[in-house]
Structure 1
């Protein structure tokens, strides 16, 4: 083992910290000038990162990314690698994590305007100056710092989360960007990204084990470590791989449009099996037999108890579990749109009762796209079954459906529906709750509904120029068309 001293490790760690801090100072200068900057979101992410780093330090756990950084730092002073179990290597890994923790704390303080808190608090970094302003533009004394993968990824995520993404998409993108930064390296200059980097991210996404990014047990485990430990070969589904790789490509495309990179690297790089995504990922409508089985099941004919819906009995609870599938098959609305309904979202205009699919500030609701905002008349079958009698009082339409751990009301209901479909033996690999929406679309086609009416009811944007003009089909026309939708299954008892 090379004869290294504690003093040499100390110098390496301080140098690493100073370099990382310089990049943070640049971010603290650039981000607040951006009109899309989300101060609370950025500071919140940094505090979460600090908690993760503290946990790693408490357990003396060195992720593969930290060990890789340690080997790189050591390579600047010794020709051979240290054994990971050696005391000096462990000391260096700990120092890197301490630097990352202190750097995150200082950046959070700068973004919050608390410059009295930016002096290093960790004794190992005492005396390092952190409040020097960035170079004055055009003074020519120093070249501007290069944009790194980490800094461009932050700008990209901030922009898209503010303008385009719902919170769930933003969370997925954050996971993807974390994988990319771990595989490529956070500090790699963005303009030097090439086809090999794109292939490396693609291969990592295709090799990482299922639920790696979600399981709490994997905290502190880098993607490289998880891939290496994935000896059973289980991977993310092809659709999830495609979604994640597409998100990474969105970063490259956005960065190209914003001028951070001259051309998009690896444009021809494809995910293995990507041609099968559409074929395997599309949900099919429920068949006539499946619909008959669903609406003749104990959920609608009588069940054992509120908690045992799949077994026949004398109970008939008309709560969210009862109504949500019925609303789906007779409106074509998405699960997420239905389960988040407020009582006030069922409105009446010119004698027509309708679902007001929309969201307002403070209502704790989300929509997939802007075109999702629409008015969907309440089908006559739902009126006959007494839906309006259920819609009384105030607050949420289905208070029995609780918000899931991901912050969405659809989380728990989706899991429940999956179990119930299996229990009544209608579950197949090609069908899910979303199949109700496909069945509704087929029913509209069978009723010969005009395409522009179908799009208006289902919340799909029109692709032609005419779609940008006018206010769309009238509510009375939508009501007339939707009431023609019918199915061959037997309806639940009134």
Structure 2
């Protein structure tokens, strides 16, 4: 085998960079003309991609896709593969990552219109200029690059994040797509995805350690390295595996619907045990004894302080922690829907007080059907809830946003601790159990299904649902006020001090 010189490697890297830059010039011309194109989303993806590449460079971590590219480049000048541990191979892998990083930076600059930033800044590529014009109808030019897993994943994420997803879902999907690019290879042509790729994603999800998807990006550990180091260790929960695999399938289905895939590969591939996810992890309503323990606890009868609410004391704090569980029990609203309520969302029409469950720039909802009006139960009114709804701002300002940007983040953690402290926490019950209690209570008083769906924010797919405006506020008020629960302890309204 002839000796490879540093100049040989630099020549391969520069050729690779020129080809990639030529494709970016094409993309900068084509993408803005695509009706699915989202400029901020695409640039955001490239910025995140640059950060990912910087992490890999800092840790000298070469993804499988980069090593495959290195072997392919070497194959143009060598008769057989070079040892991955060799200095020249390592040099080439590093160069490929530097080329990818510089190319991503230049493409982001071009998409933003900052062409004064489009010249290479990395010393390795200084002076390289690619002037090939983008394809123009009628000209005899090289065909535009074929869509890859990475390019279509970027389009998919930008489109769904803009039209369908809340921030948390977008973040989860971003992690799934990053995993797919690492496991399958970001440069793989989208049209060549097959059942083996789907199986590879399934197997990777079944072997990753818990929290890898959220934490590993900060550690420079590739999925394959994490899997190899996790021999016999704990893995992602079955529910989490199923969620992430479903997100990957949604990407494949969207790619097929948009014409990038002729068919959805691996439709029969499943997560082992996924059929038991719903049955094994379905939440149950709180029992009569659990409800008695919750609403007969020091949180409602008197506690030591605002921070210590599971131990008896003389204080009753009528803040968010006091009201949110009660509202959940008597309205069926989701935790996030309650906590993000504004005082202005408590309205009155024809003498009926109700919650206006809606969405704005600081509020999110699960789906469009979640937008609704929910009459306030007479028990909540008797307990003085409407006295809380005076002034302006948020109804429960004491509950602050969590690090993930959701008001429910901190409260959810607090509720888990509190439920454990008062002895009601089980694997089958969570805060969402109040919603199950509410649904059961509606059924117990024989509430019509269309009224029940309207109150709970469930989509009504019945053919008749497309006609009319749904149940009136008075009909829903009568139904909700009939709800009662078999426990005695109800917190008394706190009278103001003289």
TM-score of the superposition, structure 1-length normalised? Answer: 0.94
- In structure 2, what is the Cα distance between the partners aligned to 1:131 and 1:405? 45
1:393–1:131 Cα change, 3 Å: farther
Instruction: Tell me which residue corresponds to 2:425.
Output: 427
1:316–1:74 Cα change, 3 Å: farther
- Structure 1 residue 460: deviation in Å? 0.4
What's the CA shift string for 1:10-54, capped at 9, x where partnerless?
122223323333343333233222334322232233223323433
- In structure 1, what is the Cα distance between the partners aligned to 2:171 and 2:189? 24
Paired residue secondary structure (1:137): coil
- In structure 2, what is the Cα distance between the partners aligned to 1:134 and 1:458? 53
Q: Is the 8 A contact 1:62 1:220 kept in 2?
A: no
- Structure 1 residue 143: deviation in Å? 2.9
Matched, 1:261 2:261: yes
Paired residue secondary structure (1:376): strand
Instruction: Tell me which residue corresponds to 1:155.
Output: 155
What's the CA shift string for 1:195-223, capped at 9, x where partnerless?
11111111111111111121167442221
Instruction: Tell me which residue corresponds to 1:367.
Output: 365
Matched, 1:438 2:436: yes
- In structure 2, what is the Cα distance between the partners aligned to 1:72 and 1:236? 34
Paired residue secondary structure (2:393): coil
Quick one: which of 451, 454, 457 aligns to 1:453? 451
Q: Is the 8 A contact 1:36 1:162 kept in 2?
A: no
- In structure 2, what is the Cα distance between the partners aligned to 1:160 and 1:197? 23
Instruction: Tell me which residue corresponds to 2:81.
Output: 80
The 5 Å alignment of 1:375-386 reads: 375-386=373-384
Quick one: which of 464, 467, 473 aligns to 2:465? 467
Q: Is the 8 A contact 1:303 1:311 kept in 2?
A: yes
- Structure 1 residue 59: deviation in Å? 4.8
Q: Is the 8 A contact 1:333 1:437 kept in 2?
A: yes
- In structure 2, what is the Cα distance between the partners aligned to 1:172 and 1:2? 47
Paired residue secondary structure (2:336): helix
- In structure 1, what is the Cα distance between the partners aligned to 2:281 and 2:325? 22
TM-score of the superposition, structure 2-length normalised? Answer: 0.94
- In structure 2, what is the Cα distance between the partners aligned to 1:301 and 1:131? 76
Unaligned runs of 5+ in 2: 494-498
- In structure 2, what is the Cα distance between the partners aligned to 1:2 and 1:467? 75
Matched, 1:484 2:482: yes
- Structure 1 residue 3: deviation in Å? 3.5
1:184–1:137 Cα change, 3 Å: farther
- Structure 1 residue 334: deviation in Å? 0.5
The 5 Å alignment of 1:221-236 reads: 221-236=221-236
Number of aligned pairs? Answer: 491
Instruction: Tell me which residue corresponds to 1:304.
Output: 304
Instruction: Tell me which residue corresponds to 2:391.
Output: 393
Matched, 1:98 2:98: yes
Q: Which shows bigger deviation, 72-81 or 327-336?
A: 72-81
1:26–1:310 Cα change, 3 Å: farther
- In structure 1, what is the Cα distance between the partners aligned to 2:180 and 2:61? 21
Q: Is the 8 A contact 1:403 1:409 kept in 2?
A: yes
- In structure 1, what is the Cα distance between the partners aligned to 2:422 and 2:26? 58
1:281–1:24 Cα change, 3 Å: farther
- Structure 1 residue 67: deviation in Å? 4.4
> What is the root-mean-square deviation of aligned Cα atoms in Å?
1.9
- Structure 1 residue 140: deviation in Å? 5.0
- Structure 1 residue 65: deviation in Å? 4.9
Instruction: Tell me which residue corresponds to 2:496.
Output: none
Instruction: Tell me which residue corresponds to 2:180.
Output: 180
1:217–1:312 Cα change, 3 Å: farther
Instruction: Tell me which residue corresponds to 2:196.
Output: 196
1:349–1:133 Cα change, 3 Å: farther
Matched, 1:334 2:341: no
- In structure 2, what is the Cα distance between the partners aligned to 1:150 and 1:58? 22
Matched, 1:406 2:404: yes
